[in-house]
Structure formats: C-alpha cells, structure tokens
Amino acid sequence: MGPIPKEYTVNHDDLNKFNNDVKNLKIMTKSDNLKHAWRNGVYDKIKLPKEFQ
C-alpha cells in the first residue's frame, strides 16, 4: 500500500463513513465515488452534474 493518487478517493462500500474495515474500503476515482453515492441514494439527481448521472 502507498499514498492514494490525487485523482482518487476512498469509497466506503456500505456507505457508512464510520465503517473503516479494510473490506469495506475501495480506492476509486472521484467520479466513480460520486456515481456510487448517487446510485445508492446519497445524492439526488438534481444535485449531481449530468456527466455523473
């Protein structure tokens, strides 16, 4: 393991920011992280730019 590249972020697969178990964390692009959140009801379509929907 090493540093997370600038264009990537850590995603909590179960959407629980407090569950930092390694099995629940995934490194992905910020775009994919937003898509994951939107698809799981964290954001409304209205709040998300069209390119992420």
Give the CA angle between residues 19, 50, 52 to the nearest 5°: 30
Q: Alpha-carbon distance 24 to 7, whole Å?
A: 20
Cβ-proximal residues to 19 (8 Å cutoff; 6+ apart), any chain: 12
Model-level pTM greater than 0.75?
Answer: no
For 7-52, how does the pLDDT look when each residue is reduced to its tens digit (9 = 90+)?
999 999 999 999 999 999 999 999 999 889 888 988 766 666 667 6
Asked if residue 2 is part of any domain, the answer here is no
Domain count, the chain: 1
Query: Which residue stretches of the chain are H helix?
Result: 30-39
Residue 13: give the domain boundaries. 8-52
